Structure 1
Amino acid sequence: MEHALRIVDKIKSLRETRFSGLRPPTEFFDYQRISKPADVNTATSRISYNTRYFSGNYGLIVSMLAVYAIITNYHLLIAITFLVGGFALINRFAPDATQLGEHTVTQKHLYLGLFVIGIPLVWFADPFGTVFWIIGASAVLILVHASIMEPGVESEYASIDGETV
């Protein structure tokens, strides 16, 4: 029960910190603010501003792409499930050493067996390709969106540090 409360608290703190910066979809997908940048300097300034302004939305995009990549890579999904499930099962059902005939099996032995089987499974699942796909797809989506989205009116006031008009 205490473990579940810690998870709920973690989710609440994540929502307050990370998702508090989310901009509404109507603002993120405002097609009236889309335009081709005039030059590289304009694109660079837009990317600089929009990556800060829409950072919560971009973080959500990266998270969704990561979930998609893991779900569609069945080998990686099986390997991660095997390792996480193995850790959970060992911690729950084998906290103490067990005597099997003449041999004593400890948690250390069980973890070693889990790694001997799990690491080749993960290696076979090509996690590096998945990570590079997530990085590439995220970079393309974020850079394209940030460069074609004109900053809003609030960007004009972003450089003013509390000065009154």
Structure 2
Amino acid sequence: MLRSRVGTIRPVHEFLDFKRVSKPKNMNDVQKRVAYNLAYFSANYLIVFAMLLVYSLLKNWLLLFVLVFVSASLYGINYLKGADLNLGFVRLTTSQLYVGLLVVALPLGFLASPFSTILWLLGAACVTIIGHAAIMDKPIESAFSEEAV
């Protein structure tokens, strides 16, 4: 699936073609443009979403730390393959490690404000992607292919 998606990435000069930028005539024109451009530039819009995701994580260092911490902790617990963790002075079972991770990660996760980050990401992506799709006119070639009977 990833190969087919990468194959549909449009070149930057086509994605940012300022000659095709125009104000839509009415809401019907907006709907047609958005429907066409969402399908045509779908791989490019996925890249825009990924760039906004990286930006939002770099702006929220605590959330990035919590995600890396939880991922590394889960990897470490799974690396034990069900065996107990023996630190010499204490022996911890897998379930104790999971509970300990939950006790540490849950408050940190709430402090990192993931919900506001997710809402910002969705809002920024929708405004950027739908805004681009609405102002980009269809190429001339597609207009001729639609009128052919």
TM range (shorter): 0.7 to 0.9
Residue 121 of structure 1 is matched in structure 2 by 108
Q: What letter matches 1:143 in structure 2?
A: I
State the TM-score, normalizing by the size of structure 2.
0.88
**Equivalent residue of 1:119, what SS?**
helix
2:53 paired residue number = 66
Residues 106 and 43 of structure 1, relative CA distance in 2, 3 Å threshold: same
Q: Does 1:145 align with 2:120?
A: no
Q: Which residue number in structure 1 is paired with residue 44 of structure 2? A: 57
Q: What SS does the corresponding residue of 1:96 show, helix, strand or coil?
A: coil
Q: Give the structure-1-normalised TM-score.
A: 0.80
CA distance in 1 between partners of 2:98 and 2:145 (Å): 52
Whole-Å Cα distance in 2 between the matches of residues 109 and 151 of structure 1? Answer: 58
With over 3 angstroms needed to count, the CA separation of the structure-2 counterparts of 1:114 and 1:94, relative to structure 1, is farther
Letter in 2 for 1:29: L
Identity %: 38
Residue 24 of structure 1 is matched in structure 2 by 11
Counterpart code for 1:69: S
Aligned positions of 1:97-136 closer than 5 A: 97-98=84-85, 104-136=91-123
Deviation string, structure 1 residues 35-69 (Cα, Å, up to 9, x no partner): 11111111111011101111110111011101110
Matched, 1:85 2:85: no
Unmatched 5+ residue regions in structure 2? none
Aligned pair partner of 1:76 in 55, 58, 63: 63
Tell me how large the CA RMSD over aligned residues is. Answer: 2.4
- Paired letter, 1:137: A
Return the offset for 1:155.
2.4
CA offsets, 1:118-150, max 9 Å, x none? 111111111110111011001111111111101
Q: What is the aligned residue count? A: 149
One-letter code aligned to 1:70: L
